[in-house]
Amino acid sequence: MPSAVVLLADGTEEMEFTITYDTLVRAGVQVVSAFVPAQSPGASVSPPAAKCSRGVRILPDSYLDPTECGPDKHDLLVIPGGAVGAATMSANATVQKLIQAYLDKKKYVGMICAGSLAARTAKLPKQPITSHPSVRGDLEADFEYSEDPVVVSGTLVTSRGPGTAFPFALTLVELLCGKEKREEVRSPMVFPTGTPF
């Protein structure tokens, strides 16, 4: 059974976190959330509830721990957006190293919205990418920027924002579990007729 780590920080965009997490769970993926603190958690044992970008509080499963969140234990690392949360994650050296480790081992990394800034801070090579329009200027010089809702470049998957969270999550399901599982998960969600994903 595939497994995934979805990162969470203060300021994370709620929809991008919850839609991705929930959709993966519906596909049978074992999902764990890991809190990325703005500063070192020190000796803390229990992570605090993250206060997301619209004030919703989410209790993560654990703190970010490279020994528990690496590609030797999981198949997918997800970095949601939300300006403040994405800034915390993209500046975190452990997150940067994990991104590189996942991609080096041909494991999947998903970035959505401002979460795509982590591609730059992790010093990924020039390749197709997308993001929220507000951070396009930070990325287009170093990457092949696209305005497609979801961009797959090898095992890096990027997307644009809250409105593309469902196609982003369903793409991750397809990559991890296959097209049949994607449709099995998508169908009971009852998207309006003609929805292009």
Q: Comparing C-alpha atoms, which of 91, 105, 93, 103 is closest to residue 129?
A: 103
Q: Beta strand pairing status for 57-58 and 62-63?
A: unpaired
Tell me the domain boundaries of the chain: 3-186
Residue 73 clears pLDDT 80, i.e. is over it: yes
Catalytic: which of 16, 74, 174, 177?
Answer: 16
Q: Which amino acid is at 33?
A: S
The CATH code of domain 3-186 reads 3.40.50.880
Q: How confident is the model at residue 40 (pLDDT cuts 50, 70, 90)?
A: low
d(CA 107, CA 82): 24
Sign of CA dihedral 60, 64, 65, 70: positive
Q: What percentage of residues in the chain have a pLDDT greater than 90?
A: 91
To the query of whether residue 113 is one of the catalytic residues in this protein, the response is yes
To the query of whether residue 69 is one of the catalytic residues in this protein, the response is no
Q: How confident is the model at residue 48 (pLDDT cuts 50, 70, 90)?
A: confident
Contact 146, 130 (CB under 8 A): yes
Q: What is the pTM of this model?
A: 0.95
Q: Comparing C-alpha atoms, which of 84, 85, 72 is closest to residue 6?
A: 85
pLDDT recorded at residue 46: 62
What helix, strand, coil percent values describe the chain, rounded to 5?
40, 20, 40
Catalytic: which of 14, 132, 174, 177?
Answer: 132
Catalytic: which of 14, 52, 69, 113?
Answer: 113
Q: Which amino acid is at 51?
A: K
Summarize pLDDT for 79-137 with one digit per residue, the tens.
999 999 999 999 999 999 999 999 999 999 999 999 999 999 999 999 999 999 999 99
158-197 burial, b at 16+ Cβ within 10 Å, e below that, comes to bbbbbebbbbbbbbbbbbbbeeebbeebbeeeeeeeeeee
Token output for 150? 């979801």
Summarize pLDDT for 14-33 with one digit per residue, the tens.
999 999 999 999 999 999 99
Instruction: Provide the angle, in degrees to the nearest 10, between the axes of the packed helices 179-186 and 165-177.
Output: 140
pLDDT recorded at residue 32: 98
d(CA 139, CA 135): 7
DSSP 3-state of 91: helix
